[in-house]
Structure 1
Amino acid sequence: MSLKWLINTGSTIPKKYHIIFWSGYFAFNVIRWGSYFNDYWYSLKSNLVEFPLHIIIVYVNIYFLIPKFILTKKYKRYILFLLLSLIILYVVRTGLNYLLVTKNIWPEAEGIQKAFTFNHIIAVTLGELYVVALASAIKLTVDWVYEKTRFEKLKKVQLRTELNFLKSQIQPHFFFNTLNNLYALTLEKSDAAPEVVLKLSDIMQYVLYDVKEPFIKLYDEINYIQNYLDLEKLRFGDKIISTTSIIGDIDKIKVPPLLFLPFIENCFKHGKKGDNKIKVVISFENVADKNLIFKVENSFQNIENKEITNHGIGIQNVKRRLELLYDTSFELKTSIKKNKYCVQLKLPI
């Protein structure tokens, strides 16, 4: 996170809090030094002279010196201008105290002290640096917290935007494939075409209207998958053999929408070879209310490993969504066992 955020954060602390801070600090100083000298009238007069100067040098440091020199890495110039500011402030403060408050410009020291002596310069300078450091530290801390919060919000917005974009990619991808299936049925003048249209209508309603939240009920997603399987069965008939099993209680489980379908689509992409039957086995398992395990396996014929690993937009999309949503807390494994292609996805509940 760059320090340049300091340049434009003057509004991070509302004005009323500036007033509260300086009023509280002023009252504290009046009481503190009034008690020390046992002279509250003197303490009030001296603080009335000094506090406007404190405020000026603090704001010069925060809103001019730091942005102009610290943020541009001109550290020598920063030190130079800060020293010049302290010198000017010392002269003005000492003169005003002498003219308006007391001839004894350093009453807390023993004896009568003169102005512009080394010890007096050091004492006044250290006092001013203390005020500058305290106020600047508060301001920079508030700005850092503000910027950190803003950064987290932007990060969430960016994540949500990317997830929505990835989800929107899946929808046309799915509809394109389904419309191709429907087109094939119409060419064959199949009686299944009207039922396909009805199934597709149900799926479109789910995708376009129901899937608006980042997480949905697993049961809804399973119903969506079942509709897709029904569509494929209408197209391929007895060539499709599919089973879906649910192990454990999944009533309260929520998952990202449209997450599992690309794996199911992949089964038909690689399974529909020649006149062989396409066998698809799907399972969802709740493991001790800690993890959800999704498994799918399909038979395939005469397919090269290279073709299997090149899944296209669907699977790559899913992987990216999983990384954004779960970081490293998910496990995705693929394997080839004899004539079966297997996928196992483990998600935290």
Structure 2
Amino acid sequence: MERVKKIFVLVHLVLWTLFTMLASLQLSSEGDRWPTLTTGFILTCLLVFYGNFYLLTSYSGKKNRKAYYRKLIAIMLIGPLPFVYLHPRAFEEWENPYGYYLMTLVTIVPVFTFLGWLARITENLVLNTIKKEQLEKQAVEAELHYLKAQINPHFLFNTLNNIHTLVYKQAPAAPEAVLHLSSLMRYMIYESNSATVPLSREMNYLQDYMSLQQLRYKNSPVVDMEVEGDITSGHIAPLLFIHLLENAYKHSPARLEPSAIKVRVTLKENTLTLSIENPINKISRNTLEEPGGIGLPNVKKRLALLYPDQHSLEISSTDELYNVTLVIHNLQTQVHEREAQLLYN
């Protein structure tokens, strides 16, 4: 906001400098008297312009209208005095000062009174618009933090229980499980605070999640994950895919065959496509209004905030399978936090 105000000050200085040069050029035909004449003219313009400009700043409320109008009339009556006093012809005859005063009061004063009002209204409009956008941006950030906080904490407790069992049995997989959990928590607590993260890091996070979930199954990996494209070149909002993958586990049968859950990630020409397919848990199917349960509203809200008009989320199902397909366009462009950074700092 301070930067915007400094820009306005610079605009005022530039415009008044140009106007002074133009007035000097116009009044140069007055011979040697043009510097004095120009000085009086500019002082009158400045007095009227900034008198009204700052009155509007001080008396913006409706309750102060009477005080505003009284002071504005006083400024308008005083405004012509510098021009009349410094005008080289005004005092050649004793009646002339009144004529010059009335001429200035009728011609110059109304114009610069209006320009002062216009400048104040314009600046107020710009500043109020920026304030509104800042408040909207803060509201968006607050909601995004809230949505991030909704990442299901039960996974952590379940994982700790599984690791406890491995440690108790002195299973060889216990140290590796701790490392996966450490990596996952580090990402969730620290790295996910950024507006975007490398897509490859988000994929590593999903891999850690799948490795920890795999502790529940004795057979081969139950997730078949394929990645196509250079994921190191893309950036994505953090923790955006975890709900979709979590729901695939949650709503699948308790016993899963190897590669029962299929995850496909494709990055092509800045367009990311994520597809997750999982078998249906027929026991809990009738209790769900739609695949994904409470996780999908979270994902939909975050997508709407982060990638407005840049994404599509399709959900389909058969008697045996659920499929969720997410497409995000222009992946390498910044997300919602990119807006209005030029003027806010």
**TMscore range, shorter length:** 0.7 to 0.9
Structure 2: which amino acid aligns with 1:29? Answer: A
* Superposed CA offset, 1:254-278 (max 9, x none): 22222111111111211144x5658
Structure 2: which amino acid aligns with 1:39? Answer: G
In structure 2, runs of 5+ residues without a counterpart are 332-345
Q: In the alignment, what sits opposite 2:284?
A: 303
Partner Cα distance (2:90, 2:97) in 1: 15
- Tell me which of the two structures has the higher relative contact order, counting C-alpha pairs closer than 8 angstroms and 6 or more residues apart: 2
Query: Are residue 269 (structure 1) and residue 250 (structure 2) matched?
Result: yes
Query: Are residue 29 (structure 1) and residue 20 (structure 2) matched?
Result: no
Q: 1:342 to 1:16 in 2, by over 3 A?
A: closer
Picking from 51, 58, 78, the partner of 1:60 is 51
1:313 to partner: Cα distance = 5.7
1:99 to partner: Cα distance = 9.8
Partner Cα distance (1:317, 1:329) in 2: 17
Query: Are residue 124 (structure 1) and residue 101 (structure 2) matched?
Result: no
Picking from 115, 129, 140, the partner of 2:98 is 115
After superposition, residues 45-56 of structure 1 pair within 5 angstroms as 45-56=36-47
Aligned with 1:334: secondary structure? Answer: strand
1:88 to partner: Cα distance = 4.5
Kindly, what percent of the aligned residue pairs are identical? 24
Q: In the alignment, what sits opposite 2:159?
A: 181
Aligned CA-pair RMSD: 4.1
1:326 to partner: Cα distance = 0.5
Query: Are residue 103 (structure 1) and residue 92 (structure 2) matched?
Result: yes
Picking from 227, 230, 252, the partner of 2:211 is 230
Q: 1:104 to 1:311 in 2, by over 3 A?
A: farther
Q: 1:95 to 1:209 in 2, by over 3 A?
A: closer
* Superposed CA offset, 1:111-144 (max 9, x none): x978369xx7366322122233345545554565
Using the size of structure 1 for normalisation, the TM-score is: 0.73
* Superposed CA offset, 1:210-253 (max 9, x none): 44432222222222212211222222222862211223443412
Picking from 53, 63, 72, the partner of 2:62 is 72
After superposition, residues 177-326 of structure 1 pair within 5 angstroms as 177-184=155-162, 186=164, 189-190=168-169, 191=171, 192-238=173-219, 241-273=222-254, 275=255, 277=257, 279-287=260-268, 289-299=269-279, 300-307=281-288, 309=290, 311=292, 314-326=295-307
Query: Are residue 340 (structure 1) and residue 321 (structure 2) matched?
Result: yes
Q: Which moved more, 1:153-162 or 1:54-63?
A: 153-162
1:94 to partner: Cα distance = 8.0
Q: In the alignment, what sits opposite 1:109?
A: none
Structure 2: which amino acid aligns with 1:266? Answer: N
In structure 1, runs of 5+ residues without a counterpart are 106-111
Q: 1:55 to 1:305 in 2, by over 3 A?
A: farther
CA contact (8 A) 2:144 2:302 kept: yes
Partner Cα distance (1:239, 1:67) in 2: 74
Picking from 31, 34, 40, the partner of 1:39 is 31
Greater gyration radius: 1
Partner Cα distance (2:21, 2:229) in 1: 66
Partner Cα distance (2:209, 2:263) in 1: 13
